[in-house]
């Protein structure tokens, strides 16, 4: 389904269906003649559509590599990866770019907004690469900014916005294509705790209201508590995978 | 993403670094500017040579014998015995592509008037000479057939001679001394300027052919009907070649030149001089354009350098664009467009500068310049091509960046 055809991204799944299916995912980095780093050693898991998953683990555990593979930024050495029913493990660069554009929204620790580019234009960016007309782009980007509560900041440049606001622009950008998956890589790493809670509240809201699947990479325990499911990586394998019994709720304002 | 979207990004990118963009464009600006100026000067020179040759008479033909015009060195070759009045009459009679024909004899003489004196070229000829050269009289009259029949002691002066002998006085009606004979000035030639070969047409005196022959010629009595050259004009510019062939054939017949022997006398037309001059100015233009091309290439290397810096600086931006779904070719086109727009802009500014410089040369130094549409077209497309060629490698590097590395880049 193309972005243009997807009129409203609201499609809360009725029955559980898998969005991400990973089988024996392996990634080796050849660093030199006789040094190969085994970043991921055969990971298999399934993430259902509409789930909220926190990925945790110490540095070097393979969680970042896992994140890059799930985000179609890289391709696995061995293994299979299906997103929304599409086998992406064998796609080339351009095909992966299309999948990223259509299926995945990214939120990074460092916000990664284009500098000296207005919030609106930042949010429009994925739509521009999807080939939407300027008028449609504008409308959808404004809608998306409104959804994160920044409709009145559309014309602001990133350096005129606070960290929390910048991260909300990034979330608006991730949501604007109506992608079913939002990948958040340490989204609160650069934010104070109050702003962190705000951003997490927004993610929870998008997950619940729009049924967007969220995969969140974090090393902070209290951030992972917002998730429904927590996966722990260690030495390139899944060390723990459990449902969060005491799920933290964002504070109502 | 549409090409216009990518173009907008490209323009926005370098409008942030105006000084850097300007410095980057400098090489292209100078290259294109130099190209426009140099081609304008080269073409101007070539056009002015053309004009002079036109002024000389594009349909003018000259017949001369190796014997008579080259003197002793080629004396042995002049078996024909040179040209004479009968040849002139024959050309007039038999060659229908020839409109006018006039025999001439050249000599030089000291001319004196009221204490002023001047050494100049004296040409003995007939009245048709002025028609052949399309030369006007400024005042007075040309000598006629009666003067030629009677070997009258009259003369028509060129402007340089007038300037040197008379200054501001009116020469018509005055008597000057030419070598040893006294001549009445009956007319003054209009100013003609330099010939394509650098000699000044105005530094001359015209006298009846017979007068020169009898009173001034060194060869004495045996030169009673001889002429040094025959000047002819074809009926039109298009008939020059036909006229040349006719005259050559006639003269070969008359001089009984053997089959296979070289033409003597020979007939040349002005287009040969024109071609020679054209060749020279073409070489000049090529040389100058070569210099411009070198500076364009140097400018292109400057573009490539800055584009590589720009790609490195914007690695993170490239990463972001890739993460949200930019395919390699979008990144490639974005950076390529940036280089092309830079060079095109440099080209346009260069064209303006080059035009200004050409005008300045024309105004301040009096050089003839000719600005041609095609040199603008060449300058513009050349600068665009430079943008494509030198912008491609940096753009390609940008498009091949790994999104993960690019996103991590600090």
pLDDT digits (tens, 9 = 90+) for A137-185: 999 999 999 999 999 999 999 999 999 999 999 999 999 999 999 999 9
**Over the range B127-157, which residues count as b (16 or more CB within 10 Å of their CB) and which as e?**
bbbbbbbebeeeebebbeeebbeebbbbbbb
Q: Please name the residue ranges forming H helices in B95-136.
A: 128-132
Question: What is the secondary structure of B236-304 as a DSSP string?
Answer: SGGGHHHHHHHHHHHHHHHHTPPTTSPPSSEEEEHHHHHHHHHHHHHHHHHHHHHHHHHHHHHHHHHHH
Question: Which region among B294-303, B322-331, B389-398 has the lowest average model confidence (pLDDT)?
Answer: B294-303
Q: For A113, which residue in chain B has the nearest alpha carbon?
A: B320
Question: In which order are the strands placed within the sheet that holds A181-185?
Answer: A104-107, A181-185, A213-217, A52-56, A229-234, A237-243
User: Could you give the 3-state DSSP secondary structure of residue A7?
Assistant: coil
> B316 in contact with A at a CB cutoff of 8 Å?
yes
The partner residues of A20 in beta bridges, in order of sequence, read: A47, A83
Q: How far is B320 from chain A (nearest CA, A)?
A: 6
Distance, CA of B34 to CA of B40 (rounded, Å)? 10
pLDDT above 70: percentage of residues in chain B: 91
Environment class of B340 (CB within 10 Å of its CB; exposed 0-12, middle 13-18, buried 19+): buried
Whether cis (ω within 30° of 0) applies to the bond prior to A40 is no
Q: What is the pLDDT of residues A26-35, one digit of tens each?
A: 999 988 888 8
The answer to whether residue B302 scores a pLDDT higher than 50 is yes
Residue B197: per-residue pLDDT: 55
pLDDT at B312 over 80: yes
Least confident of A236-245, B143-152, B176-185, B258-267: B258-267
Is a pLDDT exceeding 60 seen at residue A5? no
Using a CB-CB distance cutoff of 8 angstroms, which residues of chain A are in contact with residue B407?
73, 108, 112
Distance CA A97, CA B324 (A): 8
Q: How far is A224 from chain B (nearest CA, A)?
A: 23
Structure tokens at B75: 């004396």
What mean pLDDT is predicted for residues A7-31?
Answer: 77
Whether the pLDDT of residue B360 is over 50: the answer is yes
Q: Calculate the CA A154 to chain-centre distance.
A: 22
Nearest in space to A73 (alpha carbons), one of A34, A38, A41, A106: A106
Residue A123: left if φ>0, alpha if ψ -120 to 50, beta else—which one?
Answer: alpha
pLDDT of residue B10: 82
pTM of the entire structure?
0.71
SS3 A184: strand
Q: What is the DSSP string of A9-61?
A: -----SS--EEEEEEEEEEEEE-SSS-EEEEEEEEEEEEETT-EEEEE--TTS
Examine the pLDDT at B78 and tell me if it is beyond 60. Answer: no
pLDDT at B55: 67
Q: Is the ipTM of this complex over 0.95?
A: no
Structure tokens at B387: 């943008």
Q: What is the pLDDT of residue B115?
A: 84
Tokens encoding A26: 């392996």
Half-sphere exposure of A128 (CA within 13 A, CB side): 24
> Which residue does chain B place closest to A182, by CA atoms?
B324
B81-116 pLDDT, tens per residue? 688 888 999 999 999 999 999 999 888 899 998 888
Give the pLDDT mean for B279-290.
78
Mutant choice from B1, B9, B324 vs A, greatest count of A C-beta within 10 A: B324
- Is B327's CB within 8 Å of A129's CB? yes
A97–B326 CB contact, under 8 Å: yes
- Count of CA atoms in the C-beta half-sphere (13 A) of A173: 34
pLDDT mean over B46-60: 73
Q: What is the pLDDT of residue A12?
A: 52
Neighbours of B2 (CB within 10 A): 12
Residue A3 pLDDT: 55
The neighbouring-strand residues paired with B101 are B232
Write out chain A residues lying below 8 Å of B319, CB-based.
112
Which residues in A lie closer than 8 A to residue B327 (C-beta atoms)? 93-94, 97-98, 129
User: Of the candidates B325, B328, B407, which has its C-beta nearest A126's C-beta?
Assistant: B325
Per-residue pLDDT tens over the stretch A33-92: 888 889 999 999 999 999 999 999 998 899 999 999 999 999 899 999 999 999 998 899
Q: What is the mean pLDDT of chain A?
A: 90
Contact in structure between B188 and B137 (CB atoms under 8 Å): yes
* CB contact at 8 A, B189 and B207: no
Mean pLDDT of B237-245: 84
The number of C-beta contacts closer than 8 angstroms across A and B is: 58
Q: What's the rounded mean pLDDT across residues B120-126?
A: 92
B68 pLDDT higher than 50: no
Residues 2-21 of B with CB under 8 A from A: 2, 5, 16
């Amino acid at each position: 389904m193309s972005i243009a055809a997807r009129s409203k991204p609201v499609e809360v799944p009725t029955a559980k269906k898998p969005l991400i299916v990973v089988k024996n995912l392996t990634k080796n980095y050849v660093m030199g003649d006789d040094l190969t780093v085994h970043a991921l050693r055969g990971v298999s898991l399934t993430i259902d559509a509409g789930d909220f998953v926190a990925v945790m683990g110490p540095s070097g555990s393979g969680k970042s590599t896992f994140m890059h593979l799930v985000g179609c930024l890289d391709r696995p050495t061995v293994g299979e990866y299906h997103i929304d029913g599409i086998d992406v493990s064998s796609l080339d660069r351009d095909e992966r770019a299309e999948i990223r554009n259509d299926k995945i929204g990214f939120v990074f620790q460092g916000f990664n907004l284009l500098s000296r580019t207005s919030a609106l234009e930042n949010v429009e960016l994925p739509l521009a690469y999807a080939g939407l007309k300027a008028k449609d782009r504008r409308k959808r980007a404004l809608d998306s900014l409104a959804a994160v509560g920044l409709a009145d900041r559309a014309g602001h440049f990133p350096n005129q916005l606070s960290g929390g606001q910048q991260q909300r622009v990034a979330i608006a950008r991730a949501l604007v294509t109506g992608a079913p998956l939002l990948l958040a890589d340490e989204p609160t790493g650069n934010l104070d705790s109050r702003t962190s809670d705000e951003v997490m509240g927004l993610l929870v809201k998008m997950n619940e209201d729009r049924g967007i699947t969220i995969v969140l990479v974090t090393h902070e325990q209290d951030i992972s508590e917002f998730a429904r499911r927590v996966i722990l990586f260690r030495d390139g394998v899944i060390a723990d995978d459990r449902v969060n019994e005491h799920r933290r709720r964002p504070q109502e304002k | 993403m549409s090409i216009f979207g990518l173009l907008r990004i490209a323009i926005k990118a370098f409008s942030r670094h105006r000084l850097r963009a300007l410095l980057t464009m400098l090489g292209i600006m100078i290259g294109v500017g130099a190209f426009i100026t140099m081609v304008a000067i080269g073409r101007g020179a070539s056009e002015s040579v053309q004009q002079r040759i036109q002024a000389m008479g594009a349909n003018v033909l000259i017949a001369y014998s190796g014997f008579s015009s080259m003197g002793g060195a080629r004396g042995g070759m002049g078996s024909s015995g040179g040209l004479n009045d009968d040849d002139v009459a024959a050309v007039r009679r038999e060659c229908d592509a020839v409109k006018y024909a006039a025999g001439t004899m050249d000599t030089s003489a000291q001319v004196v008037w009221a204490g002023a004196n001047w050494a100049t070229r004296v040409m003995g000829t007939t009245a048709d000479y002025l028609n052949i050269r399309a030369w006007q009289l400024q005042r007075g009259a040309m000598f006629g057939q009666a003067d030629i029949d009677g070997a009258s002691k009259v003369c028509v002066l060129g402007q340089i001679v007038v300037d040197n002998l008379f200054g501001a006085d009116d020469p018509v009606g005055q008597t000057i001394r030419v070598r040893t004979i006294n001549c009445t000035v009956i007319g003054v030639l209009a100013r003609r300027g330099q010939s394509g070969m650098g000699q000044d047409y105005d530094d001359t005196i015209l006298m009846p052919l017979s007068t020169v022959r009898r009173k001034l010629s060194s060869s004495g009595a045996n030169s009673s009907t001889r002429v040094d050259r025959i000047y002819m004009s074809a009926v039109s510019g298009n008939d020059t070649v036909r006229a040349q062939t006719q005259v050559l054939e006639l003269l070969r017949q008359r001089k009984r030149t053997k089959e296979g022997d070289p033409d003597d006398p020979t007939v040349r037309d002005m287009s040969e001089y024109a071609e020679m001059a054209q060749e020279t100015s073409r070489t000049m233009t090529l040389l100058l354009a070569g210099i411009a091309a070198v500076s364009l290439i140097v400018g292109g290397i400057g573009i490539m350098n800055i584009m590589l810096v720009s790609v490195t600086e914007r690695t993170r931006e490239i990463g972001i664009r890739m993460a949200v779904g930019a395919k390699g070719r979008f990144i490639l086109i974005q950076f390529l467009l940036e280089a092309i727009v830079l060079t095109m802009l440099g080209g346009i500014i260069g064209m303006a500068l080059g035009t200004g410089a050409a005008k300045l040369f024309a105004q301040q130094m009096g050089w003839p310049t000719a600005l041609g549409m095609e040199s603008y077209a060449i300058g513009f497309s050349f600068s665009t091509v430079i943008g494509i060629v030198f912008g491609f490698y940096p753009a390609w590097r940008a498009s091949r960046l790994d999104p993960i590395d690019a996103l991590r880049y600090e």
